[in-house]
């Protein structure tokens, strides 16, 4: 159980982070309203084209996920196996305290491995996204991109790279859940409109 001071410190950090996020959003709104005044982008999302447009992103997410596994496994698996074997040996010997200690070390080791994997996934995803695999770009009409201001186009491309990076770093399962959610929404909307 965490000490009361630790719980309070985590709450403060959370509040500061939420406050900072709201402040950044407000600053963005003020800058947009006062200076940028960009027009909207025309996007087309059709259920029949959705799978084809997102397939490269889903495939890339799976490739990045597998690459991370290949790079992390040789580096971290031996340590995890040693800790797991040590915990199992302590349990078999009836040494509960040692088994719990080794299990806690294993949990800490696995958590550190997940952090390393996420960082590696984020870097690989950013490189892939910069190279041209994008999630939002395929849905924007080309004619629209030719008519917007250069700074808006640059901002959109930067945002597309950032969002695609996060989607790719989330892995193939995250991408599948997004595709399923959107497809389910469109199917339900189509059924509702054809039923009325």
- Residue 12 banded pLDDT, cuts 50, 70, 90: low
Given a cut of 50, whether residue 6 has pLDDT beyond it is no
Least confident stretch, 47-51, 62-66, 124-128: 47-51
- Residue 2 banded pLDDT, cuts 50, 70, 90: very low
Can you tell me the distance from the alpha carbon of 11 to that of 173, in angstroms, rounded to the nearest whole number?
A: 31
Given a cut of 90, whether residue 175 has pLDDT beyond it is no
Can you tell me the distance from the alpha carbon of 172 to that of 38, in angstroms, rounded to the nearest whole number?
A: 33
Given a cut of 50, whether residue 168 has pLDDT beyond it is yes
Mean pLDDT of 152-176: 87
- Look at residue 10 in the predicted model and tell me its pLDDT: 52
DSSP SS3 for 74: helix
Higher pLDDT, 45 or 96: 96
As a dihedral over the C-alpha atoms of residue 32, residue 33, residue 36, residue 38, rounded to 10 degrees, the angle is: 90
The count of C-alpha atoms lying within 13 angstroms of the C-alpha of 124, restricted to the half-sphere facing its C-beta, is 22
Can you tell me the distance from the alpha carbon of 132 to that of 191, in angstroms, rounded to the nearest whole number?
A: 36
Helical ranges in the chain per DSSP H = 4-31, 47-92, 96-131, 142-147, 150-169, 172-195
DSSP SS3 for 43: strand
Mean pLDDT of 148-154: 86
Per-residue pLDDT tens over the stretch 110-149? 999 999 999 999 999 999 999 999 988 888 887 777 788 8
Classify residue 42 as left (phi > 0), alpha (psi -120 to 50) or beta.
beta
- Look at residue 91 in the predicted model and tell me its pLDDT: 87
Query: Residue 190: CB partners within 8 Å, gap ≥ 6?
Result: 47
């Amino acid at each position: 159980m965490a000490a009361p001071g630790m719980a309070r410190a985590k709450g403060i950090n959370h509040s500061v982070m939420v406050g900072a996020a709201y402040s950044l959003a407000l600053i963005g709104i003020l800058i947009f309203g006062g200076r940028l005044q960009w027009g909207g982008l025309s996007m087309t999302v059709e259920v029949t084209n959705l799978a084809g447009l997102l397939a490269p992103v889903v495939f890339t997410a799976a490739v990045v996920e597998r690459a991370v596994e290949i790079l992390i496994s040789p580096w971290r698996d031996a340590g995890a196996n040693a800790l797991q074997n040590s915990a199992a040996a302590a349990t078999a010997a009836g040494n509960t305290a040692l088994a719990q200690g080794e299990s806690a070390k294993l949990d800490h080791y696995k958590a550190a491995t997940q952090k390393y994997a996420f960082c590696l996934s984020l870097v690989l995803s950013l490189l892939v996204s910069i190279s041209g695999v994008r999630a939002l770009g395929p849905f924007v009409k080309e004619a629209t991109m030719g008519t917007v201001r250069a700074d808006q186009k640059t901002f959109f491309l930067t945002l597309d790279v950032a969002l695609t990076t996060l989607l790719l770093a989330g892995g193939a399962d995250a991408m599948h859940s997004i595709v399923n959610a959107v497809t389910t929404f469109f199917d339900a909307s189509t059924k509702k409109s054809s039923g009325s």
